[in-house]
Homo-oligomer: A and B are copies of this chain.
């Protein structure tokens, strides 16, 4: 086994309950995004683009979709003889076996996996953010500071800072205090949930944490505060650029809409830092004689004959003549029939919106920071006179 300088561990375990019917049968990282991607494509692509070719994907919830999506790793250039992408579910040791108790426990249970590559560093990632980041620069910073742990932070508006884990640092970036969702934040450096640890050091703390039966075995709640208390060298690495947590319906919708905004920092077309995805083998999409397209992203395999405005249309979508889709996300293999009106909505994959059905309502601005997005679950079929109101969610069947 060839040694690897840095191994990435991707925490893809969460069910993502806040995404409701969309994650009923699919783990959040496997959620479609941006016309042809899945959320996890961003983290996988960042990893390989950063020169890190060994990545463990920790998951215990609905791994099929993820397992088959990642497959042999080839779309991300992760089909390596030595290294590559590995799905790591919990497993049975000799007589006992247990599910992952928390983020730290998930890594703890996979210490043997990491040790096989004898890495100096471990990069901990989560699979539910949309961003482009060169982790190798963060690693360079970690080495330069001779840090034990480096945490990526992003500057957030002070009024939003109390929603995040906030790092309070010295001028050189050394963290002297970590506050989880502070009422009165002292800084605007929010943790992005991306950590680099010197592996020997992390291993020590993971083993200690596992012995502590009061611990929740969580990085944010236990490992990071514990290391800080012990006086380890912990640094904040400042990232600037587009970064978005897509953990809620509203933020998932916003992140998709950002792709349509020429002012947005998220530039998918940049050839120096491609985002890879598994290819769908669909023909080009067809725009029909009756179609009106006004600011849209449209992926392959579609047949579009309706009116599309400020929307993201995924692979294999059919929009019939006379249908209107505005400010919406239409996931793969969906059929929008004529006369249907979709506005501020997310249509799950494989759904069918029948003739003249209305989904969602026009909106000018979010309410308490949340857009009222109507959601139609995967595979749902709706017929008139069905009307789905703003913010309403109709259940998925498989």
Chain A contact residues, CB within 8 Å of chain B = 1, 15, 24, 59-64, 67-68, 71-74, 79-81, 84, 86-94, 97, 99, 112-113, 116
Chain B residue nearest to A17 in the complex (CB): B94
A350 shortest CB reach to chain B, Å: 14
**How far is it, in angstroms, between the C-alpha of A24 and the C-alpha of B95 when the chains are bound?**
11
Assess the B86–A89 pair: CB atoms within 8 A.
no
Assess the B80–A63 pair: CB atoms within 8 A.
no
Assess the B86–A79 pair: CB atoms within 8 A.
no
**How far is it, in angstroms, between the C-alpha of A71 and the C-alpha of B80 when the chains are bound?**
8
Assess the A116–B62 pair: CB atoms within 8 A.
no
Assess the A72–B99 pair: CB atoms within 8 A.
no
**How far is it, in angstroms, between the C-alpha of A60 and the C-alpha of B92 when the chains are bound?**
5
Assess the A61–B92 pair: CB atoms within 8 A.
yes
**How far is it, in angstroms, between the C-alpha of A61 and the C-alpha of B92 when the chains are bound?**
5
Chain B residue nearest to A82 in the complex (CB): B71
Assess the B87–A79 pair: CB atoms within 8 A.
no
Q: A116 contacts which chain B residues (CB < 8 A)?
A: 64, 68
Chain B residue nearest to A60 in the complex (CB): B92
23 of the cross-chain contacts (CB-CB < 8 Å) are A15-B94, A60-B91, A60-B92, A60-B97, A61-B92, A62-B91, A62-B92, A63-B89, A63-B91, A64-B91, A64-B112, A64-B116, A68-B86, A68-B113, A71-B80, A71-B81, A71-B84, A71-B86, A72-B73, A74-B79, A74-B81, A89-B89, A89-B90
Q: A90 contacts which chain B residues (CB < 8 A)?
A: 89
Assess the B72–A79 pair: CB atoms within 8 A.
yes
Assess the B89–A99 pair: CB atoms within 8 A.
no
Which listed residue (B59, B68, B84, B97) contacts A72, Cβ 8 A? B84
Chain B residue nearest to A97 in the complex (CB): B99
Q: A68 contacts which chain B residues (CB < 8 A)?
A: 1, 86, 113, 116
**How far is it, in angstroms, between the C-alpha of A87 and the C-alpha of B67 when the chains are bound?**
9
Assess the A72–B62 pair: CB atoms within 8 A.
no
Assess the B89–A91 pair: CB atoms within 8 A.
yes
Assess the B97–A62 pair: CB atoms within 8 A.
no
Q: A61 contacts which chain B residues (CB < 8 A)?
A: 91-94
**How far is it, in angstroms, between the C-alpha of A1 and the C-alpha of B280 when the chains are bound?**
9
Chain B residue nearest to A66 in the complex (CB): B91
- Greatest chain B CB density within 10 A among A81, A86, A91, A99 is at A91
Q: A97 contacts which chain B residues (CB < 8 A)?
A: 60, 99
Which listed residue (B73, B74, B113) contacts A64, Cβ 8 A? B113
